[in-house]
Amino acid sequence: MRTYVPFLQPAMKYSARILCCILILVMLTAGCKSPKEKTQGIHGKVYWVEGNRMPQASEGKLNPSMDTGQGVKRTLKIHPLTHLDQLSLGDYLIGTIATPEIKRIDTAEDGSYRVELPIGTYSIFTVEDEGYFANTFDHNNHVNPVKVTSSEWTQFDIVINYKAVY
């Protein structure tokens, strides 16, 4: 025998509707992937170039002056944007860097690298046996300037050429 309780009937209908809505929401969101967190930074490749790079006439061979060199493993130092006046310079290499080091990474054997960084502008230096190397400057004499923007990966290739002759 069933007992009829009239004052519970509207509450049961309301509870059933809420339960149904919750089940539908769970089913809809269960198959959804959470959005992947966006990252940003710098990636590229480090190349080594040495020897005579003067243009030469040659048949069927790549002109040595046009060759980008071979990928090379190096340690990279990343600093805040650094001005030429913040460096002690030698003949071909940099002696000291006055800005603080933010990050230090090693490239792969083929010279490729990828480093996640916050939004900002940075200077990148390669670590050499007798100092540091950088050879690109902007119009304000900032050294190897690289800008990192939100959710973007900036490509920055480095050609180490202090032992090359052009």
Residue ranges and CATH numbers for the domains of the chain are 41-165 (2.60.40.10)
pLDDT greater than 60 at residue 44: yes
Instruction: Give 164's pLDDT tier (boundaries 50, 70, 90).
Output: confident
CB hemisphere CA count around 51 (13 angstroms): 10
Written as six digits, the tokens of 164 are: 């090359």
pLDDT, tens digit (0-9, with 9 covering 90-100), for 10-41: 555 566 666 655 666 666 555 554 445 689 99
Q: What is the pTM of this model?
A: 0.72
pLDDT mean over 89-101:
95
**What is the amino acid identity at position 154?**
T
**What is the amino acid identity at position 13?**
K
Sorted by sequence, the CB contacts under 8 Å of residue 99 that are 6+ apart come out as 79, 80, 81, 82, 86, 123
Q: Beta 120-128 vs 75-80: how paired, if at all? A: antiparallel
Written as six digits, the tokens of 140 are: 């304000």
pLDDT, tens digit (0-9, with 9 covering 90-100), for 125-159: 999 999 999 999 999 999 999 999 999 999 999 99
